[in-house]
Chain A
Amino acid sequence: QKEVEQNSGPLSVPEGAIASLNCTYSDRVSQSFFWYRQYSGKSPELIMSIYSNGDKEDGRFTAQLNKASQYVSLLIRDSQPSDSATYLCAVIESGGSNYKLTFGKGTLLTVNP
């Protein structure tokens, strides 16, 4: 069974700090990785996708991928109270004609003013 593991948290950081969210996955041949943000009672919103080893930066967000360690992370710089949400790591299952996402259970982030 292909799995995506995240620490459920809650992760609590002060405003302005760096929040670090981690995710591991079991399918060694996975090639596509995504971070979604989900506010309470809302649907997920795509933050970033990453496909190659290394870092990918977009504004205050940086995704990091290490395929050898089967590890993907999301860093949020200058955290704001509005970043408080559940962050979902998702991995594309390899194979097949439809690209199905496998989600982790999410990490709840709280940014304290």
Chain B
Amino acid sequence: GAVVSQHPSWVICKSGTSVKIECRSLDFQATTMFWYRQFPKQSLMLMATSNEGSKATYEQGVEKDKFLINHASLTLSTLTVTSAHPEDSSFYICSVQRNTDTQYFGPGTRLTVL
């Protein structure tokens, strides 16, 4: 498997502020990480694919200027939700890709925007 951490595990912020979420691969160097969002009672929706040293690839409908992704090292990717609004409240989960096609998920970050 793979050991993945996320920080923070939960965050509450005011509307209009920015929030940074960290995803760390603890036991191997991850070239590719993924960011997902999950609303209550819905499945995971891929937001973007994060490749170390290059720009992230965003899924259709995901605003790249609002959800800033940085993958500066092989063990760390960050997602910054800029100017957060209540509709951005969700469960944000990262995953790391290992063995070409297998993804292992972090514990998730629950964001609540007031």
Choose, from A65-73, A76-84, A96-104, the stretch at the interface.
Answer: A96-104
Q: Does A46 contact B (CB under 8 A)?
A: yes
A88 touches B108 (CB 8 A): no
Interface residues in B, total, Cβ within 8 A? 22
Choose, from B13-21, B44-52, B71-79, B80-88, the stretch at the interface.
Answer: B44-52
Contacts of B93 in A (CB 8 A): 43-44
- The contact string, 1 if C-beta is below 8 Å from chain A, for chain B 82-114, is 000000000101000100111111111000000
Q: Return the contact of B43 from the options A34, A46, A100, A104 (Cβ within 8 A).
A: A104
Interface residues in A, total, Cβ within 8 A? 19
Query: In the complex the two chains form, what is the Cα distance from A92 to B104 in whole Å?
Result: 14
B107 touches A43 (CB 8 A): yes
From B1, B49, B101, B107, residue with most partner A Cβ within 10 Å: B101
Inter-chain pairs besides A34-B102, A98-B49, A100-B46, 17 sampled, C-beta below 8 Å: A43-B91, A43-B93, A43-B105, A46-B1, A46-B105, A88-B43, A88-B44, A98-B32, A98-B51, A98-B97, A99-B97, A99-B100, A99-B101, A99-B103, A101-B103, A103-B43, A105-B42
